[in-house]
Amino acid sequence: MPFHTPSRFPRGFRCASRNVGLKPTDKDLAAFVSDVDAAAAAVFTRNHFPGAPIILGREVVRGGVLRAIVANSKCSNVATGEEGVANARRMAIAGAEEFGTSPDRVLVSSTGVIGVPLPIEKIEQGLPGMSAELQDDPLVGARGIMTTDSHPKTISCGVAGSEATITWVAKGAGMIEPNMATMLVYIFTDARFTAAELDEMLREAVRDSFNMLSVDTDTSTSDTCVIMANGLAGHAPRAGFAAALKEGCVQMAEIIARDGEGATRMLRVSVRGALDEGEARFVAKAINNSPLIKTMVHGADPNVGRILMAIGKCFDCTIVPDRTDAWVNGFQVVQGGRRLAFDDAVVRQSLSSDEVHIEVALGVGEGQAMAFGCDLTKGYIEENAAYYSS
């Protein structure tokens, strides 16, 4: 399936972004709008302290119809109590007025610092007039939702056997760990599906993509992945659409992993031969999240014994040391639970790539899984030791 950076949205979708004074000069408010009502489904963070936009979003998405998404950065409107939920409602009302729909068809998102009140007046004063600025270029909206991202994130693909296309717009760089992984992923398509069909396909796609993505094991209180299907391109074959949706989510998960806070390399961990899929997912995540694996990858240090350490700390999984093999970018480094005697320079070279793929075969069953992450660097420390203060 060929993915590309889109220059335009699927039929009937447009976006705009502005600075409304939450940040000094950068864009801090974005809107994504469909010309007509769109069937919709969403998956939200499982964190026990969901942001006010998540509390409201669950209610809104239950209706199965969306017309617009309005998102601000700088303040996440989390841990702000009833006043926070009231502010999220005011944001939806302001969006509905501007884009000519009802508040129950507007999803709001907020990302940024946890626990400070949302400056709702700035948003209410900043929104009017945005409908006149709506345009067809997804990059405009992608730029509008960036926080610590180093670049805007959009991809697009066609759906085989149809006129439909799918476009992903996302942000996310830190506080990223399943469930859900990504802070914000908005998916737009002009294919026609019901909300129930979208919900089923979205959950399946998220399971193997964003829910296997971790930058730092920390789960955001704001994570949102939403899909809007406005039907303007008519019917699309379900199987082909579901496959494209999943593949695009995996691609976007990798794009987010590669842009993880401070990251210099993307890490992909695949596990096969686990007792079952659950254990495969657990082991893949343990390797993907290990600080000692992540620093080894960062330093391109051929200290591959750490792969065994990380597998071995999965206490409740079935691990048989002498059946355990491992590869780094295709080069075998562990066989039967023993580190092979190899030329360090070869592994060092292999670890020096932009992408590091660690493969593990456990030899005890048929379970397999893949996880996505990145290296751990001083850049991560720098970004996060003064996030609030800066």
- Report the C-alpha gap between 88 and 108 in whole angstroms: 7
Binding mask 163-202 for its own copies (x = CB under 8 A): -----------xx-x-x-----------------------
Task: Please identify every residue annotated as catalytic.
Answer: 182
> Rule CB under 8 A: is residue 218 a binding residue for its own copies?
yes
Scanning residues 122 to 161, which ones bind its own copies (CB under 8 A)? none
- Report the C-alpha gap between 140 and 101 in whole angstroms: 22
Six-digit token string for 2:
């060929």
> Rule CB under 8 A: is residue 329 a binding residue for its own copies?
no
From 148, 219, 224, 230, residue interacting with its own copies (rule: CB under 8 A): 219
> Rule CB under 8 A: is residue 365 a binding residue for its own copies?
no
> Rule CB under 8 A: is residue 338 a binding residue for its own copies?
yes
Scanning residues 248 to 307, which ones bind its own copies (CB under 8 A)? 289-292, 295-296, 298-299, 301-306
Torsion of CA 381, 384, 386, 388, to 10 degrees: 180
> Rule CB under 8 A: is residue 313 a binding residue for its own copies?
yes
- Report the C-alpha gap between 326 and 334 in whole angstroms: 5
Scanning residues 63 to 82, which ones bind its own copies (CB under 8 A)? 76, 78-81
Stretch that binds its own copies, among 47-55, 101-109, 128-136, 235-243 (CB under 8 A): 47-55
From 21, 237, 312, 365, residue interacting with its own copies (rule: CB under 8 A): 312
Q: Which of 231, 208, 220, 229 is nearest to 110 (CA)?
A: 220
Q: How far is the CB of 250 from its own copies (least distance, A)?
A: 23
Is 279 in contact with 317 (CB distance < 8 Å)? yes
Q: How far is the CB of 381 from its own copies (least distance, A)?
A: 5
Is 33 in contact with 134 (CB distance < 8 Å)? yes
Which residues are registered as beta bridge partners of 339? 334
Which residues touch 165 (CB under 8 Å, ≥6 apart)?
A: 6, 10, 156, 157, 158, 159, 189, 190, 233
- Report the C-alpha gap between 348 and 121 in whole angstroms: 54
Is 162 in contact with 191 (CB distance < 8 Å)? yes
Q: How far is the CB of 73 from its own copies (least distance, A)?
A: 15
Q: How far is the CB of 146 from its own copies (least distance, A)?
A: 19
From 339, 349, 353, 368, residue interacting with its own copies (rule: CB under 8 A): 339
Task: Using DSSP, state whether 325 is helix, strand or coil.
Answer: strand
Tell me which residues touch its own copies (CB under 8 A).
46-50, 76, 78-81, 113-116, 174-175, 177, 179, 216-221, 289-292, 295-296, 298-299, 301-306, 308-315, 317, 319, 321, 324, 334, 336-339, 348, 376-378, 380-382, 384-389
